[in-house]
A = this chain, B = another copy of it.
Amino acid sequence: MQITRQTEYAVRILIELAGVPDSKMIRSRTVAEKHQLPEKFLNKTVQILVRAGLIETRRGLRGGLRLAVPADSVTIADVLTAIEGKVAINPCLHENHYCEHKSDCRVNKILQRAQDAMVAELSKETFADLAREEAGKNFSTSSDLRRDFACFVTSVNRQQKDRVVP
């Protein structure tokens, strides 16, 4: 019941890109270094975002990444869908999933409402908002390697084996 690391990486890319003037391109390596993310894996993530139509890239010298859509029209929910596919917290929430009880299953309905509530929250603020927030902090758009945004999510996550079953 977690979003994947890749989704979080993608969110960070989008925040990064939403925070710079429209036409400027940001190198993927810059993002990787700034956020301490594995570069190759980030590039793969970038490709998914490109295919989802959220960002665009240019190769070659002075190439890089840029938003393909207005920052105020993208939300975390969009990124989640782009990276992990259509959201469905249980298989039976896919409309193509068959279950004979689906039509009147109360569990299904509860799960659906829970998911909808979650997605609604994830859709409330756009990356334009998020980038503004970032700008308010000590966040820099320069290409040097200050780690204003570093958070070592992965390593911390790995030791999270502690089940809360007393």
Instruction: Give A contacts to B, CB under 8 Å.
Output: 1-4, 7-8, 11, 15, 48, 51-53, 76, 80-82, 84-92, 94, 97-101, 104, 106-107, 110-111, 113-122, 124-125, 129-130, 133, 137, 149-153, 156-157, 160, 162-166
Contacts and interface: CB of A to CB of B under 8 A. Distances in A.
Contact of A87 (B1, B52, B119, B150): B1
Contacts of A124: 110, 113
A51 to B, nearest CB: 5
Going nearest first, the 6 A-B pairs with the smallest beta carbon separation are A114-B121, A117-B117, A118-B118, A99-B151, A91-B157, A106-B133
A17 to B, nearest CB: 14
Contacts of A156: 91, 97-98
A165 B49 CA distance: 8
A2 to B, nearest CB: 6
Given A1-B1, A86-B164, A101-B149, A106 B91 contact: no
Contacts of A80: 1
Contacts of A92: 151, 153
A113 to B, nearest CB: 5
A154 to B, nearest CB: 8
A133 B111 CA distance: 15
